[in-house]
Structure 1
Amino acid sequence: MSIGSPGAAQADEAWVAGRAAQALAAAHANADAHVYCDTFADVDRGYFARQGVVDRLYNPRPAFHVLRHLTGALAAADGGAWAVRAGGGEVAVGTAGGAGILVDLATGELRPGGTDDLAAVAGPVAWIAGT
């Protein structure tokens, strides 16, 4: 994953976390879509330095935790309505309205809320209907 020129090194952790969350949500929403996120581990040498979800020693970066919490949230949705807002975009499945649970994807913190609360939360967030 890179921003702009693939030859320019990027170190924007929020962008990587948001982009990975968008890709996972889009793939979950579309059964025929297959997503391949390059790069899993940081590549910090060579012509195309880029950031992954783990550093080169395989310590998790913020994007790792976002994907971990989003995977759990989507599994908890169990085919029901859900919505994800990350990286300036939003993906929603089902009738995204009413009461539910908001999941802060950076920390895993759960709290009650509705889809109208998605915009009020800073950072990547998921909403699951009625759980």
Structure 2
Amino acid sequence: MSMVAIDLSGVSKTYGDKVVVDGLSFSVAPGECFGLLGPNGAGKSTIARMVLGMTSPDAGKITVLGVPVPARARLARRGIGVVPQFDNLDPEFTVRENLLVYGRYFGMNTREVKAVMPSLLEFARLESKVDARVSELSGGMKRR
């Protein structure tokens, strides 16, 4: 494992004439809890999209677990987790069904998702809720 989980060096992003991120540099150590805070329009979502490889920076360098982003973003995303402000879970699906759908987002087939599902449920302390519909879960359970 890399000694740095996330590393941004001189990262910049503009949209038209508007500078959204201006030469940002920071590192996050493995196991460190890290959050982006700031007012609306400060560039938090843009930074998150760049770290995930969904948006390319105009300048600078980003690595996630030593993997260059956006060049190898799909590989990098396999090693990180993101808790969005709002969940995108299907409330009519069960926890199991939502895990299968999200696994597909990360390029996993059904067999692969089913193989890791027990450890994911244990990690999130949701083993007893695997067949519960998301609409039945508390807000904290949905976040997990």
Could you say which structure has the larger radius of gyration?
2
